[in-house]
Structures are given as C-alpha cells and as structure tokens.
Amino acid sequence: MTMELNGKRVVLGITGGIAAYKAAELVRLLVRQGAEVQVAMTEGAGHFVTATTFQALSGRPVFTDQWDARMPNAMAHIDLSRQADLILVAPASADFLARVAHGLADDLLATMVLARDCPLMVAPAMNRQMWENPATRRNVAQLAADGVGILGPASGEQACGEIGAGRMLEPEELLEAVLAFFTPKLLAGKNVLLTAGPTFEAVDPVRGITNLSSGRMGYALARAAQQAGAEVTLVSGPVALATPAGVTRVDVRSALDMQAAVMAKAGAADIFIAVAAVADYRVANAAEHKLKKDLGGVPPIELVENPDILAGVAALENGPFCVGFAAESQNLEAYAQAKRQKKQVPLIVGNLIQDGFGGDDNRLVLFDDNGVHPLPPASKSVLARQLIEHIATLTGAN
C-alpha cells in the first residue's frame, strides 16, 4: 500500500463528545497512510474514550495534562506543537471552538493551539441547536477569518436522536481533507474536466455493449486534481465508485450522453482529460422492447460509429489543454503516438490492458512533444499524482 502521508507529523486533538469514538478510526487511517500521529485529549474527551486506546493505535504516549512531567521543560504545549506539520482537532466541541476563537488557554489542547506555529484544522461535532446557535456561528466565522480550516460538519441523525447539521465528518472524509492539505496546489485556479468509466450502448432496454473499465484511473485523477487545487468536473459512465471529495460529478450512460455533457462544459475548462473507455460504436437499431429468443433467428444488430469526444474538444478554438488515454493490447508506443498525431493533442497516456485495466495498479507511459516518459508500476492513486504533476509542468501551472 502507498503511504501518502509518509513522514508527516500530525497532532490529533480530541475534545469531549460522543463523536470522539470516531477519532480511533481516524488515528488508524492516518497511521496507515504513514503519518506520525500524536494524540492530545481534553479532560472531557476522557469521559468518552480512553487514552489507552489511542496509545495503542498511534504507538505514542497520549498527552492530557498541561503539566505533564514527561516533558523535561514542562512545556508540552510548546514542544508538541513545534514538532507538528498540522494540528487537527476532531471532534471539536462547541466549547472548544469558543475557547479557541477567543484565545483562551485553560488546558493543554487550547494552549497548544494558541502557541502553535503550524496550521490548524477543526472538525466540529455537536447537537444541531448548538451548531445553529448564533454564538457558535460567530465563533466559527472568526476561526475561518483567522485561517483555521473548518471541516464540516455534516447533516444527519445525531446521537441525541435529532436530525440536522452538527455530525462530525466520517474518518475517511477527514483523511481526504488531510491528504488534500498536504498536496501541493499545482493546479490552483484551474478548471479540470475529466471523463471516466465505460459507456453503455443499448441493444434493447436490458442489454447493451460495454467494456470492463472500472473507472478507477479516472476517479483517481479527479481526486488528485482536486487535491492539487483545481475545480474538477467528472463526467462518469456507469461505475460502482464513490465521488471523490470536492469533485462535481455528472453521470451519463452512452457515448452520446458523454459527448453532450463534455461539450457543454469544455468551453470553461483549462484542462480536459479523456480517461473514459468510450465505445467506438453504438447500436443504430436498438429495440424498444426486450428481444425474445422465441421469435426465431438471431436479431440483426446494425452498428454506427460514435463521435470522437477527445478529437472534438481538441478541435475547439481556444479550447482546453487536452490529455488522451490509449489502452492497447500490443504495440503500445506505435498506437499511442499515432493516436496523439491523429487527434492533435499534446499528451497521450498509454498503458497495456493486461497491466491495469479494471485493477487497482497500473503501468503508464506518457507521450508528448518532449518524448516518451515511462512511469514505474504503481497504484493508480500514485500514478494519478505523477500525471497531474506532469500536466502541471506542461501547462506551466507549477
């Protein structure tokens, strides 16, 4: 597994609230990604979870006392914050947000936040009425104005039985926010349009022509572009994947649907990445009702060519920087170079189907005006980041 936070030092602050139990999973996820996690808890947090749990998960002693004797200089609030690349408080109670907004330093965690020289992110968690209270909203607005990253909250069912805003984001969502924080913003201010997944060309209402594309590479690229600071729109064929955080998703089914969605947004895009495995042909005489075998004989299926979405975008006057994909079963370089010349695009990303079609890993080769650039075999998330870096270089974004 790729550890995307390798070497990053995160102080995780935990305050009192039922959402504190989610922090255990967050520690596990951060550590799994390679982060060095130091937990600091308030007294209230200890009523919901124990320090022993977090020591076991983080592999480090947990700090709860401002006067902790384990620090030779008795300055845990200074030493812990100086060692951190980021302080994340999750959950952040209404009381904690109020104290930080007003600069109070009455326990270890609040003092550490006040004395920090690293960025601070908070994940609010509280009852919906507490979140909607004008005092809380003023405090959150002040924290945002002070440069504190506010993560959430989400809406939904709460521990008290009520429904509304105030739920802490799930650990997986908080992990994505941390990953995005540490990602260089190479595409800040850019609009990126991507396609991903297969298309489905109907034969009748229940059957169709499609392919084995999982959409994973396109979704990994959408995630990487968003974390690199871009505004990302993902036009997706039918896949079983969650939308990456912060990405706008447009669901389509057929190649014609995908073409319409892409052309409607291509004019506003700075970069277009055509990852989708678009069917070359569609059925011209698709049946209105389900075809039945008992009618006798094999039904004739007439195929017509689908539009070339990538070539269409590349031909736009003042259009976006275009990136195409070439998935081949043989002669990768010859076919990829021919595709790049035919479609007149600056960058083609090639791969052999047997190296990654439908899987979690891949092996990519980049073809551009500067030559051929093979990337080492890696997970699609790693390759996506490397490709975004290459695109940023070619477009002058970095």
Print the SS3 string covering 266-302. Answer: HHHCCEEEECCECCCEEECCCCCCCCCHHHCCCCCCC
**CA-based angle 259:263:268, to the nearest 5?**
150
Amino acid, res. 101 = A
SS3 223: helix
Location of structure tokens 């994505």: 176
**H helix runs in 291-365, sequence order:** 309-314, 332-343, 353-356
Q: Which of 3, 160, 163, 188 is catalytic?
A: 160
Which single residue is written with the structure tokens 């004019």?
A: 267
Instruction: Tell me how far apart the alpha carbons of residues 19 and 36 are, in angstroms, rounded to a whole number.
Output: 22
Q: CA angle 9-11-14, nearest 5°?
A: 155
Are β-strands 231-236 and 248-251 bridged in parallel, bridged antiparallel, or unpaired?
A: parallel
User: Is 160 an annotated catalytic residue?
Assistant: yes
Token pair for 10 = 């995160």
**Active-site residues: which are they?**
160
